[in-house]
Chains A and B, each alone.
Chain A
Amino acid sequence: MRTLFFLFGMVLLLFAGEYITLDDGKVILLKPDGTWQEVKVVKKGSETIAIKPDGTWEKIDAKKVEAANKLETGIDKKYKDEPLVKILVGKWRGDGIYYEFTPNHAFMKLKDGHSRRTIEGKWIVEKLDKAKKEVVVNIGEGARLGFLTFGGDIRKFKIINDHTIQDITSQLDGKVYTLTKER
């Protein structure tokens, strides 16, 4: 039983690290113990491998290698470096609602009766109001013709602080969702 708990703990530690891509293209591993080390990320067929300086390697999910400073393509270039937009990158959870934003991909899940409404795809910043701290994003659109967009959903957020946002899309119905950032 003790061995089982030890192994379980080791597995937890292994999966607790985070990979970040720096501005200069280097990829570093942030360890749970507060240290970091540079790794080399290579592709092996369809898999992404992180090669560590201590001689070990690990298979990682490519989408989990986040860009630290720069937002990748998919974000409207006009707003791509805005701090309010960068805050959205991450995982957010509220009562019956969940978002996951990466630099070039977004996922929304909203409780809808006994089912859920899910939208997934690239996301674009439609509007940014710095004074009101409001960001309007378009998630998962299929096509665009000027101001006409097809598919996906337009969601409006009010940024409260680094770890709290509000989804005010349905504010006209008196419905405001408060979400907190997941660790």
Chain B
Amino acid sequence: MKLAKLSLVAIVALSVSAFADVENVKFSGSAKLFYGTNDAGKADLFDKKGAYGQAAATVAVSADLANGVAGKLSATGLSTLGLENNLVSATWAGFAGGVDAQWWVQEAWLAKTFGNTTFKVGRQELDTPLAFTEKWNIAENTFDAAVLLNSDLPQTTLVAAWVGRGNGTGDGGVVRGIVNGSDPFVTYWKDGAYAFAGITKLIPMTTAQVWYYDVVNVAQAWWLQADVDLKDAVAGLIAGAQYSNIDVEGVSDDASAWAVKLGYAMDAFKLAAAYSSTDSDGPVRVANTATMLGKYSQSKLYTEAWWNYGYVSAPDVDSYMISAEYNMEDVADFYAQYTSADAGNKAPVKDMDEFALTASKAFGNLNTTLAYIYTDADDQNGGDSYNTIQLYLTYNF
């Protein structure tokens, strides 16, 4: 069964009768400037050789219409602002486009709610365990998809989704670069993908979710997760468990991973610890299919590193992570994370240790984040550790 793709005319026809009663139309956007530098290789910190920088701007218009209709249209542009002349030697996203300015339609969707059912179709962000919009970079990948949500069952949401195209890439830049006006959105893997899920809170204190994916003619996958709020035992205590299995067509061994987490949150203070293990014979990473399960793909496993993606999700890797977060009022938000990935003989990666420390502060609508990352990976920088400093500036309007 294949859901029919809706033409632009059909999408407009869906909403034309609702435009008579507009509730609100919001014009908004953001401007970002990201800079990073490291002392890997022969570079020193802040040398042009080891630095990467880029600017991005997103403008959006979102609308809430009567009769349960909503919509959003947004566009994103990337520019180096000439930083490559003096300050940096690389960009953050859209690598294929080089230093040329690039822009594309980021989101263009309509949603209609009928009772307890919502149908959302068009270019949109997704947030599912194995297919999601990665938000760590200066630009985010999106999907041409149709999603059905239903909440007729008590405390339960059922999800059915079809993903036809995406602009994710596995080269570490998250989004495909645009070369000579090319369309960055391509068919999702071979022939698109389906996803089905049930997310329920019927179990006391627990949010349980079961996801099934069919990446057509490529692989089938399961993701099971339970997050428990143990507030009745100890206020602020949470726990979680994950299991995932990816069966790649034509390959006898499956990729699988499991993870557990324990956390404590009290007002502005949070602590968390997690452990994960991946199967030694897995053919692929348990990571984001939107960025091709690649060596730079982010994973939803609890142990995922802050910056060095692709390690904890790789086959034959045991990992642990500890983190602490403190929001100091009127000063800054502080976050620290230590991640250690222990790679076995069959892993496509080597051992990796990462320590990340961040401080974030808002000045009105301008948010600034300063990050320090210590990386010690046997397959990076000739096995020598190195330091990274990053600055994230985001202005929302």
Interface residues of A in 75-93 (CB under 8 A from B): 93
* Known interface pairs A151-B27, A151-B28, A174-B159; A114-B127 also in contact (CB < 8 Å): no
Mask for A108-124, Cβ within 8 A of B = 1, else 0? 01001111111111000
> Count of A-B contacts with CB under 8 A?
101
Q: At the interface, yes or no: B362 with Cβ under 8 Å from chain A?
A: yes
The segment from B18-26, B45-53, B214-222 that touches chain A is B18-26
Query: Chain B: which residue is nearest A100 at the CB level?
Result: B329
Alpha-carbon distance between A148 and B136 when the two chains are bound, in angstroms: 31
Alpha-carbon distance between A152 and B267 when the two chains are bound, in angstroms: 26
Chain A residues with Cβ below 8 Å from B392 are: 114-115
* Known interface pairs A147-B23, A148-B25, A151-B27; A116-B369 also in contact (CB < 8 Å): yes
Decide: B369 and A148 in contact? CB cutoff 8 A: no
Interface residues of B in 348-397 (CB under 8 A from A): 358, 360, 362, 364-367, 369, 371, 390, 392, 394, 396-397
* Known interface pairs A116-B362, A116-B369, A117-B367; A153-B26 also in contact (CB < 8 Å): yes
- Majority secondary structure of chain B interface residues (helix, strand, loop or mixed): strand
Q: At the interface, yes or no: B199 with Cβ under 8 Å from chain A?
A: yes
Q: Which interface residue of B125, B140, B397 has the most chain A CB atoms within 10 A?
A: B397
Decide: B364 and A174 in contact? CB cutoff 8 A: no
Q: At the interface, yes or no: B100 with Cβ under 8 Å from chain A?
A: no
Alpha-carbon distance between A122 and B334 when the two chains are bound, in angstroms: 27
Query: Chain A: which residue is nearest B360 at the CB level?
Result: A116
Interface residues of B in 21-58 (CB under 8 A from A): 22-28, 30, 32
Chain B residues with Cβ below 8 Å from A175 are: 127
For this complex, into which size category does the number of interface residues on chain B fall?
35 or more
Partner of A148, one of B27, B127, B268, B365: B27
Q: At the interface, yes or no: A12 with Cβ under 8 Å from chain B?
A: no
Smallest Cβ distance from B58 to chain A, in angstroms? 11
A-B contact pairs, 14 of them (CB 8 A): A93-B268, A113-B134, A113-B137, A115-B392, A116-B360, A118-B396, A142-B397, A150-B26, A151-B27, A152-B26, A154-B62, A172-B70, A173-B127, A175-B127
Chain A positions near chain B (C-beta within 8 angstroms): 93, 95, 98, 107, 109, 112-121, 126-127, 138, 140, 142, 147-154, 172-175, 182-183
